[in-house]
Amino acid sequence: MSSKSEDDLIADVEDRLVKRFNTVPRGRVSDAVETARHRFAGSTIRDFIPLLVERRVTSELGGEPAHA
């Protein structure tokens, strides 16, 4: 089984968020994803970055509160 790169996982997160927040322009979702990802740029453990980005953007766009 091949593992996806962090970039691929972030792209999957962005696609899910675009579908979930279909009334929000894709550019706004993309910007929010990049901003959230940048917040974790200095993290040495990268495994949870896609999950943390998804939670942060979901909170920002009006979903459940972020826990990270």
Q: Is 41 left (phi over 0), alpha (psi -120 to 50) or beta?
A: alpha
For residue 41, report the phi and psi dihedrals to the nearest 5 degrees. -60, -35
- Average pLDDT of span 23-36: 97
pLDDT class for 2, splitting at 50, 70, 90?
low
**Average pLDDT of every residue of the chain:** 91
pLDDT, tens only, 40-68: 999 999 999 999 999 999 999 987 655 55
